Structures are given as structure tokens and as C-alpha cells.
Structure 1
Amino acid sequence: MSKIKCNHCHLEFEENIMIKEENLNFCCKGCQGVYHLLKSDGLDSFYDKLGNKTLTPPIKLDSDDITKFDSENFLENYVSKTKDGFSQIDLIIEGIHCAACVWLNEKVLHDTKGIVEANINFTTNKARIIWDEEKLKLSEIILKIRSIGYNAYAYESSVADAQASKAKREYFIRMMVAVVCSMNIMMLSVAKYTGFFTGISKEVKDMIHIGEFILSTPVLFYSGWIFYKGAYFGLKNRMLNMDFLVAFGATSTYIYSLFILFGAKGESYFDSVSMIITFVLVGKYLEVIGKKSAIDTLDKIKSSLPLEAVVVKDNEKKVIALNSINIGDIVEIKPGEKVPVDGKIISGNGSFDESTLTGESIPIYKKVKDFVYSGTINLDSLIQFEVTKSFKNSTFSSIVALLEDSLNSKPTIQTKAAEISKGFSVTILSLALMTFLVWYFFGIDLGFDYEGTTQFEKSFIVAVSVVVIACPCALALATPMASLIGISELAKKGLLFKEAKFIETMAVASTVVFDKTGTLTKGELNVTKARIMDDNIHKMHLLYSLLDASTHPVSVSIKKYLETKYNLDIKKLENVKNIEAKGMSATYKNIEGKEFELIGGNVDLLRQFGIFYKFDSSKTVYLFAINKKVIATFELEDKIKDDAQELITYLQNKNIEVVMLTGDNEQVASKIANELNIKKYFSSQTPISKANYIKELKKENKIVVMVGDGVNDSVALTSADVAVAMGSSADISLAVSDIVLLNSTLKSLQEAFIISNKTYKYIKQNLSLSIIYNMVTIPLAMAGFVIPLVAALSMSLSSLMVVLNSLRIKMK
């Protein structure tokens, strides 16, 4: 029975099972359906991109299997929400073989109604899909992917760790085979090269060649399989990569040496074949170790959480998995145990070690109504708390997710380096071919000769040396190695970068804009002077109630002050309004139906409501009025953070402009600015005016870093090139920030600038080193001064040089 090819998957099948249409042949109804789906959607150009490559036939759809993707448990574990309210998931797409597969999947997904964004990483087959749940179910997305012949399942970080461990183990085994064989080859080579000077019989020389052949073959085809595989996928995508250069150089030398082995005139270079693979493989192994180290950093952080927790329900205690804990559950933790999820203490009090989040070694005392955060350690008491966030959304899980994203991201300079290296291999092969032709046809002889060497051999060996010595791997390693180490070091110091690109942005920043309260100052306002004109207890109840409706540091501080003086209750207020950067207003009706207008805030707020009350102070001022009559005034002061002056001085010494924007009045702003030697500051700023100021700076082509609390300054933060949130444990503000300082100290912000500058400096050094290396060594190889053995060694040394230079980021 003859075999024919399917018009969709290109696989051969028996003619008797064919599904035939006019001029079309299909092996199954699945392929027939996919073919017509692509045709109807105008995507039939896929087959032009596919060429002669084959595909996996469409997966048979299983309705029972597909329902799990819409289950509440699955969605809770794997789906997150974007800031725009859309759903987001990371999937691994199975069956992707080439760029055409990526193109097809992305095209089909983009054309699916309800999908907002779909990006697929060809290297990892990881797809990030963002969609509108109101228009499309996740199961429908999976069905769409399956309908065109691929499969998809949820991505888990443990998969990345397993793959990294597997890659490390595989590289190590291949490298050790290469090392052992190469060491034995070198012993034989010592005899061969000694005989070259002292004399050696043809029989002995042939035996040495046979021994080298036997030992170099597993090195090339087992240890070197990694390079063949990389070269194959590169060629499939019409790209000549570094793996192609290594495979081409080693294979060419191996084939030439076989001719010598079987009687041709000249010298064999099996030792060079072995050494090319071994040295480059060592460089590759170092790269794998670097990547595994970054993932290990992540694992070390993850491992600090328990897998289960004790939940108290109906006076019974049950041990359940963290993923099964719901908001509102009561969790019990004993002394020495770690907090599994975020919550609010309802029973007990004690000290908590929050160093895993903030880096602060001093324990924090917590009591009933205080919040506890996942990843922290209960030191000395039995505590029960009510769960306020699910495991997935808890502080610690959010930090891990952020770290995973940052380790997978690329800085801008890496994209530029990738563009440079794209044409590198083509250039090197062209130079190698030109070198061979010039040497062969012009008979160049620079002393690279010994008895029996032909002109072809000289020309060939010099050309191979050019291919082998060129090092795109050093260029390719220059940025990712430094970025991985930089991100890892930053994470150890409690500095969370959402993306690696912010390392570069911070390193070239020209202006740093600071919020004042909670950023340059401790954010712990203390009432230094209070004047109560009417201390009627009923009016104090109303003041206390208005303060309770606000989370602003001024309101919180005055509320605490009143609690030390009075025993007050919270009254039900109506029409509560927050007036940005000024204060609050509300109304209150008593049991008799009489209405009271309440206003609390600064002098500007009272003036806005027609209350002209003169009050001069260099401190933060809060005035409280009922029915347009001021009944209480408060003066508050916030102390400057201990490390603020050191940071400001550091930035100014680096010629970085420092600006302070604050909602406080001129007197308070000028006092803080003068103490910190900040020459440019602006008072009475609203969130909108702060954002507008940053936009004006960017129009002047300044690279702006904004440092704020991540909530009140959210508009300004999103306007800056880099948004830095002072990550107080209560709200680390991951949504609005690019960088989070978990310990909220300005010392850590200084560390962020220092490490970013070091990382960026070493990235540029790595790129410079790799470019200079190639500029120097390639001409030397073309001139015939470098044999393949030395070329392979110098190529690996250039990669090692880049790795070791990157490791200097860890040094103080």
C-alpha cells in the first residue's frame, strides 16, 4: 500500500485511511478540521512558514479533562488579575517545534475574541495569556490551542526548577565524559608531539591516531550533542548561532582528521576536536550554574514557608494545605512557627521576626487587631489570627511571583546585545571562508608548518581556528549573567525589582523625586502641641470618628493621642469625603435629627469651606471645626529618618538631582529640606500636581526615579521611569511600583543604586571585553598564529572571564 503526505501535518500515512477532498489529502478528521479552520481565518500562510517540517496531529478533545480549567480551585491557583481587571495565566504549550508554530499559536490566539494579549517564548514554550473572562472561558482558550494541534497546561515554577536541575545534571555528565576523554587524548598527544621532534614510526603514529579517534568520537557525538541540537534549532529558524559555529568547527576538523586516519597525507586533529567541545562545554556549564543559582535563590525564599497550617473551626483543629485556606478562617501558630498567610490577630500577643520580609533583625511586638504577614516567625506566644488574604495573594507569595518575573525579564541593553550577536555568526563564517580561500590560492606561509603539511591542510586549519576562536557566547553571556547575579543580590537585601530592565534605568537616572512623609521622614507623626477650645465630650466623639475614617498619618497620630486622653466611641458619620492633600469632611445627625458639619484638615481646607482661621506654625497642623467653628488645633512633628542624610549626600555626590514633593505647607517643607540640604522642593502638592511635575521632568529628557509610599503617590509613581515604593509591611504596594524596599529604610535604597550601578558597569565591561577579545583574536587566527586547540581554549577563557567578572557584583 502506497503512502502519501497529509496536507496539514505533513506526516505520511496509508492511502486506504485517507480522507480525500479535491486536490487535498488528510490523515484524519482533526487535520482536515484544522486545515479548514486556518483557511477560513486567512491563516493558510502558516503552511508557507512551515515548509517541509511535520506537525503533531490534533489532540483528541476530552470533555471531562477540559472542565477542570474552569473549576474554582484551578482558577484560584493559576489565574491572576491584571491592573486593568483582565485575567492572566502562564501556560506551557506542548508541541511547539519552530518559529512557525509560535507564529500560528499567537496568530490564532490574537484573533480569538476576548483575548487581550498572547506572548509565547520560543525557548521555554511558556505563553502568557491575558483575556476577558466575561467574553471567554479559560477552557475555550485551551480548546482553541488543542484544535490546531497543540496542548497547553498551567505553568508552575517547580517545573522551571526541575528543568534547571535536569540541565545542570545533563551538562555535568556530558562535561565529565568530555574531560576524561580529553585528558587521555592529551596523554596520547604528548607522545605524538614528542615524536614530531624526536622521530616516530608510521605504525606508532597510526596507533596514536586510532586511539585519539576512539576517544574523541564520544566527546563529539555525546558531549557535543548539545551544540548539534542548538545548531539544528537555529538553522530551523534561519539563524546561525554560537552552537552552529562550535558544531561546524569541531565536525569539520573531525572529518578532516578521518581522512588523515584512513591514509591521506597530513596530521590529524582529533585532540583539537575534543578540546573544542570540552572547553566550550565548561563555559556552558558555568552559564547553567549561574541560572540554577538564581533559581536556588528563589527556592531558598520559598522554602521558608510551611506546606500546611492549623485551622480552628467549631473548636476543632485541622491541619490543611495552604491552598485550601480561605479568607475568614482562623489559623493557630505556636512559638517558633512561621506565619503561612496574611491575617489579623484575634487572640494572643507576642514578638514576630519579620527579617525575611524587611531585613530588620529586631522583633516586632504585635497584639490583638495587629496584622501578621506570611513568611514571618512567631517567636514567643500562642497566636490565633483571622485570615485576610488567600495564600496566593499573601505578601510572601506576591514577593515570590515578583522575583520570578524579574529573573525572567531582560534589561534593554541585553536586547541590544542580542541584536549585535544576530549577524555575528554569518560574519565569522564569511571571514573563515575568505581566510581559507586567501591561504589556499595565494599560498600564504607564516611559519605555521611542519613536515608533511599540505597547503590545503594549512588553509583548512587556519579557517577552523577563525570559526572556533570567535566568541559570540561571551557576548551572549555578558548581560544575562550580570543581570541574574544583580537581581539575586538585590533580593537578598530585601530589594525587589519587578523587571531586570530597572537595573539599567536606575544606573542612568538623572533625577530622584522624594515624597516626604513616610519616605524621607519616619511617617510617625507625634502631637507636640494640642489646643482644645471646647472639650465637650460629645464633640470629642465626633472628632475621633472623623479621624477614624482616615488612614492618613496625621489622622492616625491624633487619634492615638486622643485615646490617651479620653475614652471615646465611634459615631456613624455620613457624606464622608477625602479632600486630596488637605483633609476630610463629613456630616453627623444626632438622635434629634440635628445635623453637624465636620471639617478636619489644614488651613487651606478650612479656607475652602469659608473658615478663615489664622494659624502659623513650622510644624504639620490639623484643625477641627464643627459648623464652621474651630474647636481644636493640633501641631505635629515627624522626625527625619536616620539614613536620609546619607542617601541624599550619596545622590548629590553622584550628580543626581534631588527633588522633594510634599503635600505639607511651606514652613514644614522648608524645614525638612534645609535639614537634608535639598535645594529643590515644592510644598502643598496634590497627587496630580506631583505627577504633572514628573511629566515635565521627562519632557526635559530626564530619567526620573520617584520614591513614595506607593498608595497616596500612586499617580506620581506611575508617571516616573522607575517607581520605588517604601514597602511597609502593611502594604508593599506591588501593583504601583517597579521596585519595592521591603524594610522601608533609605539605606536599602542606597544599596539599590549601588548594586544597580555595579551591575550596569559590569554589563558594559563584559560587552567591552567580549568585543575587544574578538577584535584582537580573530585577526590573529586569520593570520595563522592560532591553532584550533588554542582557539578553543581562548574562546572558553573569554566566557569564563565574563562569568568571573559578573561574580564581582557580589563583592563589596
Structure 2
Amino acid sequence: MSKIKCNHCHLEYDDDIMIKDGNLHFCCKGCQGVYHLLKSDGLDSFYDKLGNKTITPPIQADNDVEKFDTQSFEENFISVTNDGYKKIDLIIEGIHCAACVWLNEKVLFNTDGIIEANINFSTNKAKIVWDNEKINLSQIILKIRSIGYNAYAYDASIADEQASKAKRDFFIRMMVAVFATMNIMMLSVAKYTGFFTGIDEEIKNYIHIAEFIFSTPVLFYSGWIFFKGAYYGLKNRILNMDFLVISGASFSYIFSLYILFGGKGESYFDSVAMIITFVLVGKYLEVIGKKSAVDTLDKIKSSIPLEATIIEEGVKKVLPINSVKVGDIVELKAGEKASFDGKLISSSASFDESSLSGESLPIDKIKGEKIFSGTINNESVIRYEVEKTYKDSTLNSIVTLLEDSLSSKPKIEHKANEISKGFSLTILSLSIITFIVWYYFGIDLGFDYDGVNHFEKSFIVAISVIVIACPCALALATPIANLIGISELAKRGLLFKEAKFIETLATADTLVLDKTGTITKGKLKVKKAKILDNNIHKLNLLYSLIINSNHPISKSIKRYLQDNYTLQEKELFDIKTISAKGVIAKYRNIDGKKFNLIGGNIKLLKDNKINYKFDSENSIYLFAIDSKVIATFELEDELKDNAKETIFNINSMGINTVMLTGDNNKTASKVAKQLGIRNYVSDVNPIEKAQFIEDLKKHNRIVVMAGDGINDSVALAKSDVAIAMGNSADIALSVSDIVLLNNSLKSLEESFIISKRTYKFIKQNLLISLIYNAITIPLAIAGYVIPLVAALSMSLSSLLVVGNSMRIKLKNRGEINDCK
């Protein structure tokens, strides 16, 4: 019975079981359906990209897809973007090549309701963003299945388990190679000693056989990962480092087999084993280096509690953390870690927040204050109300940010990867040219070139060129340094959303700082208060107005009023927050009379045609009812610890510091003078702040902006790198690129120092790899390097890059001077 290829999957089947469709043949209705689907959607160029490769036939759609639309599945795996769309990470099964990635992305992009679909070919991980009003997840899964693939939710724990399994497999392969190579080395001692002292030909043959026995598992078992890497590289038309390693080892092995079976010359089974072993050991040490870089992430993950005790109608229940909802009351015993962000409902508590802020001293809290996930209850049993589920908690956000930053790539890494792709092809070409020149032009460096010996020498020189060249060091130069840099930053409470911001921060020349909550502690105290009309009813209206604002000034006045008066909240209407100015509202008394309430700065009063003169070096707050000023407040804020020293150190790095504030000029001038800041801009609203950032960028400045409030969010979004303090408003956090968990200006300084150190070591790594190749490749071409030494030096070059990157961790007393 003749075999016929299916027009879709390219698999061969007996002619009698094929479905005939005109001149087309399909192995099943699934393939037939997909073929016509691609034709009708104009995606039939997929088959040109697929070429002669085969793929898995479509999976028959079953009825298990309903689970993807359940509430529990959504809580565990689906998140919501800032635009209100749904987002999920999927693993797509059945992807074999770039054509498969192309097909899946094209089909998903052409599906109504899908906003984004990006698939990573190396991991098969797909990021899908969709509009749930137009399409649900189960329909997306069915769409993927309809074209011959399967998809399921990406689970980090499963991915970690697979990574651990892969690491164990790598270790076993390496140990097999090390064991075999050590035995080969002992045999080689006898062989090379006999070369100089004379050795019986029969004994020499026995040594060759023993070397063959030991080197074969090294090449085909331990070296399988290089065969696999080279195969997938070739499938995608890429000559990678794996191809260079395996081609050098394989050619040496084939030539040694020729010698073993009667050819003239020396065998190189020892070189085969050592090439694989040295590179394997080098790669394993790279894995260890990367592991140490992500230990911070592992420690955070391992410390996450899996269950929580909640109080429901007076009854205690233990629930999985993913089942706890906003509004639930959680009980926390002494020594336990909080899994959720919430509000303390017990009278007082003491928390260890060192895991987030690095602050070793316990933080005392009173009723109503915030509890952060990841912090530890120090003393008695307390209760708090959940304000954010675990999925949206501070702790989970840290884990997510770290995972994202560790997988992202800066511009310099993309450039290095592009260079390394062409590098392998260049080296292979050089190796072929070297062989031709040595063989046909009879280069003589003192060797006896007669027949086979001449071929042998030419062949070995060509192999040495392949083996000694190291695109691996070039490709490693950036990612290993970034991994260690991100890890060190995370240990200091600095969360980078993407690794690329290390490069931007390292090259930045301008730092723009908000004042309140960034330079100062944001805990203003009322220094002077003047109540012009001490009517308790009017003070009740002031109290009712300020509790509608989250601005630090309003919060401070609220505390002052609570400490000095017994007030009641009144019902207001038409409440409006005027950004960077204050709040206005209306009040209606029992007689139906309306009153206009205004609370804020001088600008707000002027906008409402109230002329009132008030001059002060401090922040001011004015309260007026129906155009009459009732109360004035002067507030003073403390500078953050080490603020002056930090600003001086940042300026010493060659970074121009600018303070940008909505406060009045006298207040801004006073703070700027205390800190030694020469450039400051005062009396600006959020739009003017953003415009100032844009103006700096128009003059080719690389701008870093640090802020903490809603009024900073537009300016943060306009900057090259946006830095938010850990206590920032949610909107400021959402547009930021870096989060300073401990709110310390010292951390801001450290972010510049570590970024600059990391970027410096990236450039050093690239220089090391380029110099290495520039020196060693000509030496190999000239015939001064044997494959054994080539393999060793290639591994050492990679280890040199890893070892140099580890220096990022070293503390240096002259760090600031190094950053100039």
C-alpha cells in the first residue's frame, strides 16, 4: 500500500485511510478543517514557512474548556490590565518551529477580541491579552486547539519543578562526562608518555579502544544537550554556540574512529571527551551563577504562607490564601507573616517590615493603619481587615515584578545577541578556509606532512578554530550581569519592573524629584494654626472637607483637629478635588441653606475670587466658607534621613538634580537651600510638571523622575525612568518603572550606584569576550592551539565573564567615585 502525505500535517499514511478532497489528501477531518480555515483566512503561507517539516494533527476539541471560564480559574491565573482587559500566560503544546509560532500568533491576532498575543519560541510561553466582552478564554483555547495545538495556564510552581528536573538531568550528564574524562586522562598519560619513550602498537590500539568506550557516552549522552540545541538552532536557520561545540567534537570523534579502524595518525578521543566536559562544566557553573542571582526570588516565594485564619461571624476558619476576599477579617498570631494588605482593626500592633523596607527596627501601628503583606507580626494576636487579595498584594507584586525583570532584556543584550548570531557563521567559515589553506597550500611549521599526517594536522587546526571561538561568552556578557544586578537591587528593596531600566538609569544625566513624600517624610506637622472663627459647627465642616482628601497636608490637619477638638462629620455634596490645589464642596443645613466650602492653597482661593494675603516659608492650608476665610494653617515637613548627603552624592555622579513641587516659592526655596539643590521649580500643577519633563527630553536629556503622589503620575509617565516610593498612590505605582520599597533616598542613590556598576561590568564582559576571541582565534588559525586547549580556554572565557559579573556584589568604598 502506497504512503501519501497529509496536505496539512505532512505526516504519511496509507492511501486507503486518507480523506480525499479534490486533489488534496488529509489524514483526518481536523487537518482538513484547519487547511481550509487557513486558506479562507489568507494564512496559507504557513505551509511555505513549514517547508518539509511535520506537525501534530489537530487535537479534537472536547468539553473540558468550561473550566477556563470559572471564577476559581480566573482568581488563580488571570489578571486585569490598566485598560480593563484580561491577561493570562499560557503554555502552548505542539510548537516545533518558528512556523508554528507564526501560525498561532497570526490566528490569534486575527481573532476578534484578542488585543495581544506574543509567543516565546524557546519556552512556548504565550502572553495573551483579550477583551472579555467580545471573547472568553475558553473560546481562545478552542481556537488554539482548532489549528492543531493545545494550551494550558502557565503555573510558576510547575515551571520551577521542571527547571529543577532539568538541572538534575544536567548534573547527571556532567558527572558522567567528568567520570569518563578522568579515566581517559589517565589513559592519555600512558599514551603520550609512550609517544616519547616508545610504545607497543598493540597496547596503543588497546588504549584507543578504551578511549573510544569512555568517549562515546560523553559525546552521545552528556553531549546530547548540544546536539539538541544545535538541531533546534538549525531548524530556525541559526548557527549557535551548541553547533560549534558539537561540530568540533563530532568531527574529532569521526576522525578518531578512522584512526581506530586502521588509519594512520593519532586519535583524539581524549579531545572529544574534554571538549564536551569542559563546556558542560562551564555551562553548569553558569547555571549555579544564575541560581545565586535568583535566590532572592526563591526566598521570597518560599516564605509565602499557604493558608490564613479568617474570622467569619465569630467562628475561625482556615482557608487557602487564594480563597480569602477583600473585607474578610484575618487573625494573625505572633511570629506569623501577613499574606494580604489590609487595615489594622486591633488597638495596636508591632510589625517587622525588614523584608520590604530593610528597616530592622519594629514598626508600631495603631488601629486603622496599614498592614503590608510579607511583614511579620512581632507581638500578640491581632486582627486586620483585608483590603487587597493575595493576587493584588504587595508581596505577590514583588514576586511578579522580579519574575518579569529577570526575563526582560535591555537594548545592549539585544545588540550582543545579534552579534553572536552572525559570529557562529563567521567562525564556521573561518574554520573551512583554515582547513583549505593548511591542506592545499601545505603550511609547514615543522611537522612531517606526508599523506594522512598532513590531512590530520589541517583537520585538527580547523577543529581548534571551531572549538576555541566563544559566542557563548558574548551572549552571556549581558544577561548574567543583569541577573546579578537585579538580584542585588532587590535585596536593597529596589524593584525594577524590567532589566532594561538598569541601562537607562546608568546613562541618565538628570534626576527630577518631587518634594513632599519624596525628599521630605510626607508627615507634615501643623506648626501654626489660626482659627479665625472658633465656631464648632464651622470646624465640623472643615473636618468633613479634609477627610475627602488623601493629600499629606489634609491628613496632617485632620490629625491636628482630632487631637484638639471633638468633631462630627457632616454630609457634603458636589465634592471636587482640584489637583495640586485642594478640595471644594457644598453643604446644606437643616433650613435648606447652601454653603460653599473651599480648602486648599492660595491659588485655589484666587481661582474662586477670594483675595487673601498670606505669606510663609512653610506649606499653607486655608479654609473658607462662602468666600470668608475661617482658618489658616502653616505646616512643616521633616527632610528624610541623609537627604542632604544623598543629593550631594548623586550630584557627584554627574547627575543634575532638579526639585519639582506644587508648593509655594518660599517653601521650595527653603528646602532647596537646606539640601544644596540649585535648580528647583515651584508652584507647578501636574500638567506643568509633565511639560517640564518633556522640555528636558527635547534637549536630549535622559530624565529620571521620582515621586509618590497622584499629582506626579503624569510626569512619571513622561520620564525615561519613573521611580515611585513604596508608599505611593496606586496610580503612581502603576506608571512607575522602579519601586523603592523602603521610601528611602539612600535607596535612590543605591539604584544609581548598582545600575552604573552593572552597566560597567556588562561593557567589561563584552570587552573580555571580544578581546578573547581577537587573540585566540588567530592563534588557532596559525596552528598553535590543539582542540584540548581550545575547549579549556573556551570554558574559561565563559567562566571569566561569570566571575567578573559576580564582582557586582562586592561593596566598594569608592563606589561613588567609580560612578563619576
Give the TM-score category using the shorter length. Answer: over 0.9
The answer to whether structure 1 residue 572 and structure 2 residue 571 are counterparts is yes
Contact conserved, 1:267 with 1:453, CA < 8 A, in 2?
Answer: no
Please name the residue that 1:16 is paired with.
16
Q: Residues 403 and 733 of structure 1: is their aligned pair in 2 closer, same or farther, counting only changes over 3 Å?
A: farther
Amino acid at match of 2:7: N
Deviation track 1:249-280 (CA, whole Å, cap 9, x = no partner) reads: 00000000110111111111111111100111
Within-5 A mapping of 1:139-538:
139-447=138-446, 454-538=453-537
Give the residue type in structure 1 aligned to 2:711: N
Distance change in 2, residues 1:451/1:51 (3 Å)? closer
Within 5 Å, which residues of 2 pair with 1:75-114?
75-114=74-113
Report the residue type matching 1:791 in the other structure: A
Cα distance in 2, alignment partners of residues 570 and 243 from structure 1 = 72
Deviations 1:582-640 (A, max 9, x none): 11111111111111111111112111111111111111111111111112111111111
- How far did 1:451 drift? 10
Tell me if the contact between 1:91 and 1:152 (Cα under 8 Å) persists in the aligned partners: yes
Distance in 2 (CA, whole Å) between partners of 1:667 and 1:239 is 63
**Contact kept in structure 1, 2:91 and 2:126, CA below 8 Å:** yes
User: Cα 1:457–1:7, aligned 2, differ >3 Å: closer, same or farther?
Assistant: same
Find the residue that maps to 1:343 and give its secondary structure.
strand
SS in 1 for 2:255: helix
- Name 1:50's counterpart in structure 2: 50
Give the match for residue 781 of structure 1: 780
> What secondary structure does 2:430 align onto?
helix
Distance 1:574 1:703, change over 3 A: same
Offset at residue 810 of structure 1 (A): 1.1
Decide which moves more: 200-209 or 450-459.
450-459
Pairwise mapping of residues 547-626 of structure 1 onto structure 2 (< 5 A)? 547-626=546-625
> Matched residues in 1 for 2:304 and 2:195: separation?
65
Alpha-carbon distance in structure 2 between the residues aligned to 1:200 and 1:223: 31
**CA drift at 1:171:** 1.3
Structure 2 CA distance for aligned equivalents of residues 131 and 583 of structure 1: 38
Aligned residues: 811
Residue number in structure 2 paired with 1:666: 665
**Aligned residues of 2:373 and 2:395 also touching (Cα < 8 A):** yes
Shift of 1:711: 2.7
SS of the residue aligned with 1:388?
A: strand
The change in CA–CA distance for 1:781 and 1:347 in structure 2 (over 3 A counts) is same
**2:183 is aligned with what amino acid?**
N
What's the CA shift for 1:344?
Answer: 1.7
Relative distance call for 1:447 and 1:808 in structure 2 (3 A) is farther
Aligned to 1:697: 696
Taking only the aligned residue pairs, the percentage that are identical comes to 70
Distance 2:698 2:729 in 1: 35
Structure 1 residues 697-737: Cα deviation after superposition (integer angstroms, max 9, x where no partner)? 11111111000005321100000010000112885953111
Q: 1:452 to 1:784 in 2, by over 3 A?
A: same
For 2:507, give the aligned amino acid: V
**Alpha-carbon offset, residue 348 of structure 1:** 4.2
1:649 and 1:40 map into 2 onto residues whose CA distance is 66
Name the SS of the counterpart of 1:588 in structure 2. Answer: strand
Residue 364 of structure 1: how far off its partner (Å): 1.5
- Cα distance, 1:673 vs. partner? 0.8
Within 2, Cα distance between the matches of 1:610 and 1:187? 96
Whether the 8 Å CA contact 2:710–2:731 is kept in 1: the answer is no
**Matching residue of 2:817:** none
Note if contact 2:580-2:711 (Cα within 8 Å) is conserved in structure 1.
no
Query: How many angstroms does 1:345 deviate by?
Result: 2.1
Superposition deviation, residue 655 in structure 1: 1.1
Q: 2:65 — aligned with what? A: 66
Q: Tell me how far apart the structure 2 counterparts of residues 277 and 710 of structure 1 sit (CA, whole Å).
A: 56
C-alpha distance in 2 between matches for 1:403 and 1:702: 28
Match of 2:19, as an amino acid? Answer: I
Aligned-partner Cα distance in 1 for 2:384–2:296 = 30
Provide the rounded CA distance (Å) in 2 between the counterparts of 1:247 and 1:433.
Answer: 16
- Deviation (angstroms), 1:774: 0.4
Q: Counterpart amino acid of 1:736?
A: V
Aligned to 2:41: 41
CA distance in 2 between counterparts of 1:132 and 1:407 reads 28
Alignment partner of 1:735: what SS? helix
State the Cα distance separating 1:521 from its structure 2 match: 0.7
Distance in structure 1 (CA, Å) of the matches to 2:208 and 2:709: 69
**Aligned partner of 2:56: which letter?**
T
Alpha-carbon separation, structure 2, partners of 1:523 and 1:296: 34
State the match for 1:676 in structure 2: 675
Q: Distance in 2 between the 1:388 and 1:718 partners?
A: 26
Rounded to whole Å, the distance in 2 between the matches of 1:95 and 1:711 is 46
Report the equivalent of 1:2: 2
Alignment gaps of 5+ in structure 1: none
Larger mean Cα displacement after TM superposition, 31-40 or 597-606: 597-606
SS of aligned partner of 1:678: coil
For normalisation by structure 1, the TM-score amounts to 0.98
Alpha-carbon distance in structure 1 between the residues aligned to 2:471 and 2:281: 15
Contact 2:709 2:729 in 1 (8 A): no
Residues 489 and 791 of structure 1, relative CA distance in 2, 3 Å threshold: same
Q: Is the 8 A contact 2:294 2:483 kept in 1?
A: no
Mapped to 1, the partners of 2:577 and 2:42 lie a distance apart of: 54
Letter in 1 for 2:542: L
Code of the aligned partner of 1:3 = K
CA distance in 2, matches of 1:277, 1:599: 77
Return the letter of the residue paired with 1:4.
Answer: I
What is the distance in 1 between the residues matched to 2:55 and 2:213?
37
Report the CA distance between 1:535 and its aligned residue. 0.4
Shift of 1:573: 1.0
Q: Deviations over 1:183-210 (max 9, x none)?
A: 1111111111111111111111111111
- 2-structure distance, mates of 1:449, 1:496: 63
| 4+ runs deviating over 4 angstroms | 448-453, 729-733
Which deviates further from its counterpart, 727-736 or 35-44? 727-736
What code does the residue aligned with 2:249 have?
A
State the alpha-carbon separation in 1 of the partners of residues 622 and 447 from structure 2: 91
- 1:771 and 2:770 correspond: yes
Kindly indicate whether the alpha-carbon contact (under 8 Å) linking 1:265 and 1:452 is maintained by their aligned counterparts in 2.
Answer: no
Task: Provide structure 2 residue ranges, at least 5 long, that are not aligned to the other structure.
Answer: 812-820
SS in 1 for 2:623: strand
8 A contact 1:348–1:381 mirrored in 2: no
Report the alpha carbon displacement of residue 294 of structure 1 after superposing the two structures with TM.
Answer: 4.0
Alignment partners' CA distance in 2, 1:729 and 1:737? 10
Deviations 1:539-581 (A, max 9, x none): 1111111111111111111111111110011111111111221
Instruction: Give the AA of the match of 2:478.
Output: T
Cα deviation, 1:671-703, whole Å, max 9, x if unaligned, reads 111111111110001111111111111111111
Q: Is the CA contact 2:348–2:364 (under 8 Å) kept in the aligned structure 1?
A: yes
Cα distance in 2 for residues equivalent to 1:414 and 1:530: 57
Letter in 2 for 1:412: K
Q: Give the TM-score taking structure 2 as reference length.
A: 0.97
Moved more, 642-651 or 120-129: 642-651
TM-align CA RMSD: 1.4
SS at match of 1:102: helix
In 2, distance between residues paired with 1:601 and 1:512? 29
* Matched residue, 1:641: 640
